[in-house]
């Protein structure tokens, strides 16, 4: 477990010692500067070792055996569910469904709740800043069922246009889906307000928390959302596992997403009976070791404290934006620092984002270049791609300096 932090201040030097990969050199004398946590975060030893210990000492399939290993594995698996559910403020761990990732969680809602509740003539309301994961599943279902998808626009400073959002709610969408934090712009949307407005219009609300849950305190009860999705790999946990929180009454009414073992109470040759939550939506052998790692990741960041993580990241993004603005030719996308998370997407005149990323990599600086799985947003911005630097609890001011020095190298190359 990480050393508890005090006064909402992270001891980043101590934290970095928990992450073995951060000691790597990309090439001799060139240390890794990892600024791509919005894509996937690095993993602390506490998570790596928790999964290794599980495989070495407790591994067995869960829920299906009465021998010692099966019981120990089941206890570890369900303990992880309880930790993750508690982390987002769920009333019961039964409301927390393990999925492969946030993308699968959205697909679960689309193909279970959506297929049962949407039809020709209905509307779904999304926003212009959504990740493909919260667009494509609804487009696939709309092509089959015939409903209409609308997109709430942004203001000039890349925040949600609440006035237009309210007007679009008057059209009576059955579901409203939006990101809590944009993976490109960093925009933090006012979830509680948007949810209240959507509920007032009679809509069910799905929130994409893939970028928010790892970086700030998120409580589903306080926000009053109906569905929340997020992934372990963006919050110091392993790949291959994510989560869907759902309002109990909605999950109870929804048909199963997949069929097979574990999700049934009884099977006959001509019929089957679905079992209770959460197993109803977890067909087949689940990601057991990944769940153990997910629980360890929740322990790790909870011990650091979400307020401390948020404060550190706020300091990082303020410093990064200030320094980026000093670089001639740089244009930053997204709102001011107080309205965004630790994500800085930018362009540099005369240099393609892919070239920028390649040259930065020579200095060991890892950033993301491309459309970041948000092609419609980039089309709205009139851009084929951006360069994105994203920060997390282990990043330092010196690493921001390395990013800026690298951009001046880029300028020299394209001078």
- Write down the catalytic residue from 140, 373, 375, 383: 373
336/375 Cα distance (integer angstroms):
22
273: left (phi over 0), alpha (psi -120 to 50) or beta: beta
241 close to 291: Cβ distance less than 8 angstroms: yes
Strands (E), 172-302: 175-179, 204-208, 227-231, 242-246, 264-268, 271-274
Phi, psi of 192 (to 5 degrees): -60, -45
202/8 Cα distance (integer angstroms):
39
DSSP string, 82-135: HHHHHHTT-S-GGGEEEESSHHHHHHHHIIIIIHHH--TT-EEEEETT--GGGT
Tell how strand 264-268 and strand 175-179 pair up.
unpaired
Half-sphere exposure of 396 (CA within 13 A, CB side): 12
Secondary element (H or E) of residue 379: helix 375-381
DSSP string, 327-376: STTEEEES--GGGB-SEEEEEETTB-HHHHHHHHHHTTEE-EEE-TT-HH
DSSP string, 220-289: HHHHT-SEEEEEGGGTTS-SS-EEEEE-HHHHHHSPPSS-SSSSEEEEETTEEEE--TTGGG--SS--HH
Tokens found for residue 174: 């059955």
176 close to 196: Cβ distance less than 8 angstroms: no
40 close to 239: Cβ distance less than 8 angstroms: yes
Other CB atoms within 10 A of residue 31 CB: 17
Q: Residue length, the chain?
A: 415
Tokens found for residue 149: 């998808």
256/376 Cα distance (integer angstroms):
31
The question of whether 373 is a catalytic residue gets the answer yes
Active site residues: 373
């Amino acid at each position: 477990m990480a050393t508890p932090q005090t006064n909402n201040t992270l001891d980043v030097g101590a934290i970095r010692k928990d992450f073995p990969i951060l000691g790597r050199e990309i090439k001799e004398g060139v240390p890794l500067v990892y600024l791509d946590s919005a894509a996937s975060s690095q993993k602390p030893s506490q998570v790596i070792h928790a999964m290794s210990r599980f495989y070495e000492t407790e591994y067995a399939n869960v829920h299906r055996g009465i021998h010692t290993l099966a019981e120990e594995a089941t206890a570890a698996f369900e303990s992880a569910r309880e930790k993750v559910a508690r982390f987002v403020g769920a009333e019961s761990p039964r409301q927390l469904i393990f999925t492969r990732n946030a993308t699968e969680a959205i697909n679960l809602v689309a193909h279970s709740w959506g297929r049962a509740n949407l039809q020709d003539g209905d509307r779904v309301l999304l926003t212009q800043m959504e990740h493909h994961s919260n667009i494509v599943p609804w487009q696939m279902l709309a092509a089959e069922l015939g409903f209409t998808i609308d997109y709430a626009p942004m203001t000039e400073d890349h925040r949600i246009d609440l006035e237009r959002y309210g007007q679009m709610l008057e059209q009576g969408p059955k579901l409203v889906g939006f990101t809590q934090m944009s993976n490109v712009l960093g925009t933090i949307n006012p979830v509680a307000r948007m949810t209240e407005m959507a509920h007032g219009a009679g809509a069910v609300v799905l929130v994409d928390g893939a970028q928010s849950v790892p970086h700030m305190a998120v409580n589903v009860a306080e926000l009053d959302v109906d569905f929340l999705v997020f992934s372990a790999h963006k919050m110091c946990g392993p790949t291959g596992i994510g989560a869907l929180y759902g309002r109990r009454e909605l999950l109870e009414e929804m048909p199963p997403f997949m069929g097979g073992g574990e999700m049934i109470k009884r099977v006959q040759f001509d019929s089957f009976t679905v079992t209770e939550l959460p197993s109803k939506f977890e067909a087949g052998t689940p990601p057991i070791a990944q769940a153990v790692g997910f629980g360890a990741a929740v322990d790790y960041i909870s011990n650091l404290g979400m307020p401390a993580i948020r404060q550190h990241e706020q300091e990082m993004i303020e410093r990064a934006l200030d320094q980026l603005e000093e670089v001639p030719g740089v244009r930053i996308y997204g709102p001011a620092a107080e309205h965004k998370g630790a994500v800085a997407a930018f362009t540099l005149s005369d240099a393609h984002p892919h070239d920028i990323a390649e040259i930065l990599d020579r200095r060991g600086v890892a950033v993301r270049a491309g459309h970041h799985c948000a092609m419609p947003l980039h089309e709205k911005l009139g851009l084929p791609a951006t360069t994105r630097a994203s920060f997390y609890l282990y990043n330092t001011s010196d690493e921001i300096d390395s990013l800026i020095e690298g951009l001046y190298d880029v300028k020299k190359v394209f001078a």
